[in-house]
Chains A and B, each alone.
Chain A
Amino acid sequence: MSITLTPNIPDPDGFYDELLKAHEGLNDTDSQALNARLILILANHIGDRQMLRAALRAAR
């Protein structure tokens, strides 16, 4: 299986909104910290090292 880079999130606008809302009221530092926690949580959920490597590659 390869990493999904085609649309996969139902209700994209709704998700995007939730993502921004999660940062509401946070200063830059706290926002960065939240992002880092989020990345770690999602990475752990994926688990598969090959998939994670592909994601890192796609992000860079």
Chain B
Amino acid sequence: MPDPRYQTAKTLYPYRKVADQNTPARRHPVVVVGAGPVGLALALDLGQRGTPVLVLDDHEGPGLGSKAICFAKRTLDIAHRLGAAAPMMDKGVIWNVGRVFYGDGQLFSFDLQPEEGHRHPAFINLQQPYFEQFLFEAIVAARHAGAPIEIRGANRVTGLVSHADHAVLDVETLDGSYQVAADYLVACDGARSPLRDMLGLGFEGRVFEDNFLIADVKMKADFPTERWFWFEPPFKDAGQSALLHKQPDDIWRIDFQLGWNIDRAKELEPARIRARVDAMLSAQTGQVPSYDLEWTSIYTFQCRRMQSFRQNRVFFAGDSAHQVSPFGARGANSGLQDAENLAWKLDMVLKGEADMALLDTYATEREFAADENILNSSRATDFMTPKAPISRVFRNAVLDLAKDHPFARPLVNSGRLSVPCTYDGFGPDALDGPVQSRPGSVCPDAPVENGFLLDLLDGQFRVLVIGDLPVARVRAPVTTITRPDPLLATRYLGNAAAAVYLIRPDQHIVARWPMFDPNAIEAALNTALCKG
């Protein structure tokens, strides 16, 4: 039996013995190692496309404790396409009011009004175990509808041999070891990725010399649903910064940035944590509300990535491939985009609809995205923890100015929320259209009759025609919106009278034109599929 490495929040995929365990390595089209958010999303996407997928995880459910809580719009849009977003929206918390403090004064507050004409808000707060549970429940539902997805809990991968055209895994269970072979293997096994180590691949980057104390507290009385962020909190021993925001179930997440040289054991003493939390919670009202400590932990963070997300038939996705500091919530959110990027490509290659070269674009696109996420998260960290003395001078100057002068507020950086990256180099861009929908970017949502545009982009290549244009048959299905909603027109037409967009299964825009030219569309489609 593989000893659990951590406690689980709930049991979702209990161990069951299967016939494979008594046979020589059976070959599966796709094996995913790790049933975290990324592995589950990938399995769900592949299974819904009809491609059989086997998931191996060495636990039987999501880990207990404080991990991701901030799930961004793109993640919700992906989850919606996969049929998992409704319970996330029901359970998740949406906050609008944020306050930024510096020392003992408030610098400014802001009200995040949702942008009009999108199905989903900019993000929700939801504990990661719920997020994983809802993905898992969508897998169960998809399986009932015939999706070939199998999850084997308490199956630990202990060995990996990567061949040119397949990979073989050693798997350890309660009933002994067995082998599994895979045409394609995806390592979604987290930041410590044992599979990465098994292949001897590096994970280079930057460690931030800082410790973050995380306390999830359950309030017994009302407390405002707001996000509070302090630079240089005035309360005793609070460290360099502190953050408070709400999760479902009356739980508030509190982070204290403690610095590098700390005594971890001492900092985790409940009495010491309570003293800090008391000081923070009473900072605004002078009164300590009644609360329980639900979970506490100390983290250090790093920004690093693998040099290449692919080796032979082995792909790395999520934290195994890249790790970022949590400011801006780019871990799980970017991992979901990895999963979405890889799912359709594996599916099309396995079905013979695209050449193997398409799979290289997974690595190049997501490596580019990882660099962007690492850049954003490093910038936030540098603002929060200035390294050189002059950085601190500028940082504090920004904060001093932000109180009275709105111009300085956009410079205040306590994390920029995860947004999907734009893959430059797509095209052609033959429309003089809006920047936000240029080739490479993910489709902005917009209202359409009885719903939202993204609902029409259901995971296959699609041609979107906006306006009244003559169309012809092409290899991809065509969707026409003759009379676009004004918001859709703003986001997709700009000054153009009509437009034709070619859109990938992951809702990234391939190319756009002012007219329907079947040859141009076919050519762009071939390029997007790495053909010819």
Contacts and interface: CB of A to CB of B under 8 A. Distances in A.
A40 B401 contact: yes
Interface residues of A, number: 8
A33 B400 contact: yes
A40 B393 contact: no
B225 interface: no
B174 interface: no
A33 B407 contact: no
A48 to B, nearest CB: 14
A3 interface: no
A37 interface: yes
A54 interface: no
Contacts, number: 25
Interface string B29-41: 0000000000000
Interface in B145-187: none
Interface in B206-263: none
A32 interface: yes
A19 interface: no
Main secondary structure on A side of the interface with B: helix
B396 interface: yes
For chain B, which range describes its interface: under 10, 10 to 19, 20 to 34, or 35 or more residues?
Answer: 10 to 19
B158 to A, nearest CB: 52
A40 B396 contact: no
Main secondary structure on B side of the interface with A: helix
Interface centre among B397, B398, B401 (most CB of A within 10 A): B397
B405 to A, nearest CB: 8
B411 A36 contact: no
A50 interface: no
Contacts of B398: 40
A36 B407 contact: no
Interface in B390-423: 393-394, 396-398, 400-401, 405, 407-408, 411
Contacts of B400: 33, 37
A59 B127 CA distance: 48
Contacts of B396: 33, 36
Contacts of B393: 32-33, 36
A36 B408 CA distance: 12
B54 to A, nearest CB: 50
Interface in B357-401: 393-394, 396-398, 400-401
Interface centre among A32, A36, A44 (most CB of B within 10 A): A36
A55 to B, nearest CB: 15
9 contacts: A33-B400, A36-B393, A36-B397, A37-B400, A37-B401, A39-B394, A39-B397, A40-B401, A44-B407
Given A33-B396, A40-B394, A41-B405, 7 more contacts: A32-B393, A33-B397, A36-B393, A37-B397, A39-B394, A40-B411, A41-B401
Interface of B: 393-394, 396-398, 400-401, 405, 407-408, 411
